[in-house]
A and B are shown apart, each in its own frame.
Chain A
Amino acid sequence: GTRIVYERSTLMHLRNSP
């Protein structure tokens, strides 16, 4: 199956989203 991968930058970007 496909793996759901997140780059560090994406995770950090999502930190601030409301």
Chain B
Amino acid sequence: IKHPLHNTWVLWYYDNDRKKSWAENLKEITSFSTVEDFWSLYNHIKAASELKPGSDYSLFKKGIRPMWEDDANKQGGRWLISLEKRQREIDLDNCWLEIMLCMIGESFEGNADEVNGATVNVRPKVDKIGLWTADADKSKADVNMAIGRKIKDRLNLSNRQQIHFQLHRDTQTKSGSAAKNTFSI
């Protein structure tokens, strides 16, 4: 008997084909709702560190698309973990797996329903992992902070290694490369 997960999750892949539109490049790979099916998928696909720069993996709850425009993401934000290229071999895959295990295992205690999904962006210089939460309103500051602390804990990040919480609407309207950080821990 397989071990059921609390939620059904969908893995997406973004292929950076310049000849196609952004939406055409975003592909839904498959969904799973048991631990065993997660592992058979994970063991079957390329690791994030093996993807060509410009590509993304996204793992989101079924029914939520990995984009700002999705109704479940519009009011939300993301905890951003940045990893230098030199960390790609050592840390990227471990961090991405740990974030996925946190999500499918519902490890965010009372706040798990606020977690929508996560994306890993493999880029030439700096890879980024973003964990997307549903509501970035000030009233949910303690919820989003608790989620951020859990991420730092599970990833064994020191105080020196900061992660930043950004509202999607700030990320969308950012000038230059850096979006406004609402929290940093």
Q: Which residues of A contact B (CB under 8 A)?
A: 3-8, 10-12, 14-15, 17
Decide: B36 and A14 in contact? CB cutoff 8 A. yes
Decide: B35 and A5 in contact? CB cutoff 8 A. no
**Residue B3 is within 8 A (CB to CB) of chain A in the complex:** yes
> Which of B43, B98, B104, B154 makes the CB contact (< 8 A) with A6?
B104
> Which of B3, B43, B101 makes the CB contact (< 8 A) with A8?
B101
Given pairs A6-B5, A15-B43, 11 additional interface contacts (CB within 8 A): A3-B112, A4-B4, A5-B107, A6-B35, A6-B106, A8-B107, A11-B104, A14-B3, A14-B35, A14-B39, A17-B36
> Which of B5, B39, B101 makes the CB contact (< 8 A) with A4?
B5
Chain B residues in 8 Å Cβ range of A15: 39, 43
Report the count of interface residues on B (CB-CB < 8 A).
Answer: 16
Knowing A11-B101, A11-B104, A11-B105, the reply to whether A5 touches B39 (Cβ < 8 A) is: no
Majority SS of interface residues in chain B? Answer: helix
**Residue B52 is within 8 A (CB to CB) of chain A in the complex:** no
Decide: A4 and B36 in contact? CB cutoff 8 A. no
Interface residues of B in 94-134 (CB under 8 A from A): 98, 101, 104-107, 112
Decide: B106 and A11 in contact? CB cutoff 8 A. no
Decide: A6 and B112 in contact? CB cutoff 8 A. no
Q: Scoring B residues 1 to 20 as 1 if CB is less than 8 Å from chain A, else 0, what string do you get?
A: 00111100000000000000
> Which of B6, B35, B43 makes the CB contact (< 8 A) with A11?
B35
Q: How far is the CA of A9 from the CA of B83 in the complex (A)?
A: 25
Decide: A4 and B6 in contact? CB cutoff 8 A. yes
Task: Name the distance in Å between B4's Cβ and chain A's nearest Cβ.
Answer: 6
